[in-house]
Amino acid sequence: MNIALLDVDFTDVLLIIIALLLVVIVAYIVSNGWLYTRSRRRTENLEDKPAKIITVISCKNNDYTIEREFQEGDFIGKVADKCPKCGAEMIISKIYTIPLESGQKPYKQSSR
């Protein structure tokens, strides 16, 4: 084996490794920036549209479920009422939004 072929300067190898690392870092930053702006545009579009907030209340025995308009103080896991079917506790299991068509009111305004 000829040692002259393997005579590689350490600084050359180090420069190649640093250049590769810089390329990887720049690619990572560019891809994350692109993904961030893309997701940001999507959330800005959702914020502009009116939505109706729905609360789903389920019986502990899973034999009765109702949906109603969201009320201030609702949170998942909150004990809401007694089940009219079996008398067990009813717990808020889901809260979600429904986008509204133009002309519909997003929710009823409560008077204080």
Q: Residues 44, 75: one domain? A: no
What is the pLDDT, as a whole number, of residue 70?
93
What is the pLDDT, as a whole number, of residue 110?
42
Q: Is residue 93 part of a domain?
A: yes
Residue-wise pLDDT tens digits, 50-105:
789 999 999 998 889 999 999 999 999 999 889 998 889 999 999 999 887 765 55
Q: Is residue 109 part of a domain?
A: no
What is the pLDDT, as a whole number, of residue 51?
82
Q: Is residue 25 part of a domain?
A: yes
What is the pLDDT, as a whole number, of residue 111?
39
> Which range of residues forms the domain containing residue 69?
51-99
Q: Residues 56, 39: one domain? A: no
Q: Would the pLDDT of 109 be above 70?
A: no
Per-residue HEC secondary structure of the chain comes to CCHHHHCCCHHHHHHHHHHHHHHHHHHHHHHHHHHHHHHHHHHHHHHHCCEEEEEEEEECCCCCEEEEECCCCCCCCCEEEECCCCCCEEEEEEEEEEECCCCCCCCCCCCC
